[in-house]
């Protein structure tokens, strides 16, 4: 049995906000919360770092408190540019039936609006790092490492609206009280600590794992050693919320925001690519089959992003034909999740983007470890945003797709 040296208390709001907040004690195996000796300056991931940056560094964008999580923590958003004004005459369902999205979006339906959401799973830190650096670029022209990113600034100004949610699940994030995982290599079991901190553990470090972590929603925290960072403080993984029943506060926040902003394109950012193909991937959305035009637009987005990643050496090969081949539907993706629900809220494309973890690395076909350190992760994230913004600009948004 592994030694347990660490125990920390965490308040969990498992009932309504007026109820007494219970206290849970989680015992993690020794070393699981070890941090590296050096953390890059661009690696901002904690709830306090995010709040401090938003309050003190954001001058061009508009910071909003969108609401509170199940555990009472703030969920922040930052908007750039001018939002859509006015309203349409019908619902998205009605507009899709008559084939005219403008009747839903209103008089400025042709505006090009993009939304980027990170931290739906609280300890998937790579997208949080990416969005925090994107905010820095939008504010100063440089990322947090001091690298100029003029093309991202140009695209910010070329689009009508860019909206960023840097951390959608602060409850899950605060449950893992470290800034950065220690890197554990490329051996077959190197992923174990990362998986434990995200999907949780049953007993003695045994993983709950993926997709088994989705079997019990809400999760009963008293029956696990550690619940991981996927659930909020009500035990709900909001990627798989009760969308047509009692939605969680974080899910309601995101749905209301998407309905208000009516984005053409939403990136739902995650960590979780496969070890044998350890590179950023744009996932095929669940929705789209009902609308061939929307699916064709997503395929164009896929090619834009994967081309940009490939040309920068950020994919498994440098073969554009291989890396831009549109994948079939991923088995195990399910028929509905937060990504598809957000798409149905606004009629735009919402797609999940997965990156590799900084806590371990994958291998090439010959067993050679992939060089996928923090700097590569940052480059991958910003490349995805830049290519997606360029796609939205050049494709003319929903006005050009539907």
Q: Compute the average pLDDT of residues 271-294.
A: 84
Structure tokens at 236: 């709900």
Q: Compute the average pLDDT of residues 299-305.
A: 97
Q: Compute the average pLDDT of residues 114-133.
A: 98
The CATH number of the domain covering residues in 45-304+330-401: 3.40.630.10
The pLDDT value given to residue 334? 67
* Distance (Å, whole) CA 313 – CA 321: 14
Residue 12 has pLDDT above 50, yes or no: no
Which of 7-11, 154-158, 240-244 is the least confident region?
7-11
Residue 210 has pLDDT above 70, yes or no: yes
* Distance (Å, whole) CA 254 – CA 249: 9
Cβ neighbors of 352 (< 8 A, separation 6 or more) are: 268, 269, 270, 282, 283, 285, 339
The pLDDT value given to residue 157? 98
Cβ neighbors of 121 (< 8 A, separation 6 or more) are: 169, 172, 198, 229, 230, 237, 239, 270, 271
pLDDT higher at 27 or 361:
361
The pLDDT value given to residue 96? 87
How many residues appear in the chain?
A: 402
* Distance (Å, whole) CA 76 – CA 56: 14
pLDDT tens track for 19-62: 334 567 788 899 999 999 999 999 999 999 999 999 999 999 99
Q: Tell me the pLDDT band of 196, cut-offs 50, 70 and 90.
A: very high
DSSP strand pairing (265-271 vs 4-11): unpaired
- How many Å separate Cα 301 from the centre of its chain? 17
pLDDT higher at 18 or 258:
258
Q: Give the mean pLDDT of the chain.
A: 91
pTM confidence score = 0.93
Give the helix ranges, DSSP H, for 159-227.
170-174, 192-199
Q: Compute the average pLDDT of residues 256-271.
A: 97
CA distances from 367 to 73, 186, 376 (A): 43, 9, 19
Cβ burial, residue 276 (10 Å; 0-12/13-18/19+)? exposed
Residue 11 has pLDDT above 60, yes or no: no
* Distance (Å, whole) CA 236 – CA 213: 11
Residue among 274, 286, 279, 331 at smallest CA distance from 306 = 279
Residue 62 · residue 83 · CB < 8 Å: no
* Distance (Å, whole) CA 49 – CA 51: 6
Q: How many CB atoms lie within 10 A of CB 262?
A: 26
CA distances from 16 to 13, 66, 69, 182, 358 (A): 7, 19, 12, 36, 36
Domain extents in the chain? 45-304+330-401
Which of 64-68, 282-286, 357-361 is the least confident region?
282-286
Q: Tell me the pLDDT band of 305, cut-offs 50, 70 and 90.
A: very high
Give the helix ranges, DSSP H, for 244-367.
249-261, 292-311, 320-323, 338-346
* Distance (Å, whole) CA 87 – CA 118: 28
Cα angle: 232, vertex 236, 240; to 5 degrees: 125
3 state SS of 351: strand
Q: Tell me the pLDDT band of 333, cut-offs 50, 70 and 90.
A: low
Q: Tell me the pLDDT band of 356, cut-offs 50, 70 and 90.
A: very high
pLDDT tens track for 373-400: 999 999 999 999 999 999 999 999 988 8
Cβ neighbors of 219 (< 8 A, separation 6 or more) are: 200, 213, 227, 231, 235, 236, 237
Q: How many CB atoms lie within 10 A of CB 132?
A: 26
* Distance (Å, whole) CA 178 – CA 16: 28
Q: Compute the average pLDDT of residues 304-318.
A: 97
* Distance (Å, whole) CA 140 – CA 360: 31
Q: Tell me the pLDDT band of 16, cut-offs 50, 70 and 90.
A: very low
The pLDDT value given to residue 159? 98
The pLDDT value given to residue 288? 54
Q: Tell me the pLDDT band of 99, cut-offs 50, 70 and 90.
A: confident
Structure tokens at 164: 């960023």
The pLDDT value given to residue 401? 87
The pLDDT value given to residue 23? 61
Q: Compute the average pLDDT of residues 75-102.
A: 93
DSSP strand pairing (113-117 vs 265-271): parallel
pLDDT tens track for 287-296: 655 678 888 9
The pLDDT value given to residue 6? 34
């Amino acid at each position: 049995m592994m030694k347990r040296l660490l125990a920390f208390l965490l308040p969990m709001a498992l009932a309504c906000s007026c109820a007494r907040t219970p206290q849970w004690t989680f015992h993690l195996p020794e070393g699981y919360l070890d941090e590296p000796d050096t953390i890059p300056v661009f690696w901002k991931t904690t709830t306090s770092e995010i709040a401090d940056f938003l309050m003190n560094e954001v001058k061009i964008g508009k910071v909003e408190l969108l609401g509170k999580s199940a555990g009472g923590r703030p969920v922040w958003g930052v908007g750039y540019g001018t939002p859509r004004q006015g309203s349409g005459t019908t619902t998205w369902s009605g507009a899709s039936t008559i084939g005219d999205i403008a009747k839903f979006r209103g008089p400025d339906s042709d505006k090009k609006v993009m939304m980027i959401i990170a931290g739906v799973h609280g300890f998937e830190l790579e997208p949080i790092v990416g969005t925090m650096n994107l905010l820095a670029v939008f504010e100063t022209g440089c990322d947090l490492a001091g690298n100029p990113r003029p093309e991202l600034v140009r695209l910010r100004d070329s689009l009508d609206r860019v909206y960023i949610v840097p951390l959608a699940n602060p409850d899950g994030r605060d449950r893992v009280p470290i800034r950065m995982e220690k890197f554990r290599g490329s051996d077959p079991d190197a992923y174990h600590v990362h998986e434990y901190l995200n999907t949780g553990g049953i007993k003695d470090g045994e993983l709950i794992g993926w997709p088994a972590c989705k079997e019990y929603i809400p999760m009963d925290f008293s029956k696990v050693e550690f619940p991981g960072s996927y659930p909020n403080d009500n035990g709900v993984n909001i990627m798989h919320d009760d969308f047509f029943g009692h939605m969680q506060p974080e899910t309601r926040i995101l749905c209301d925001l998407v309905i208000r902003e009516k984005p053409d394109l939403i990136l739902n950012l995650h960590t979780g690519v496969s070890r044998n193909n350890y590179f950023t991937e744009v996932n095929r959305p669940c929705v789209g089959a009902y609308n061939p035009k929307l699916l064709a637009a997503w395929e164009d987005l896929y090619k834009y992003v994967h081309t940009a990643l490939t040309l920068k050496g950020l994919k498994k090969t440098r073969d554009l034909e291989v890396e831009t081949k549109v994948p079939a539907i991923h088995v195990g993706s399910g028929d509905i999740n937060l990504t598809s629900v957000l798409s149905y809220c606004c009629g735009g494309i919402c797609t999940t983007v997965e990156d590799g973890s900084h806590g371990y690395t994958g291998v090439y076909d010959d067993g050679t470890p992939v060089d996928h350190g923090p700097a590569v992760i940052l480059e991958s994230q910003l490349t995805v945003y830049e290519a997606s913004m360029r796609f939205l600009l050049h494709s003319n948004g929903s006005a050009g797709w539907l």
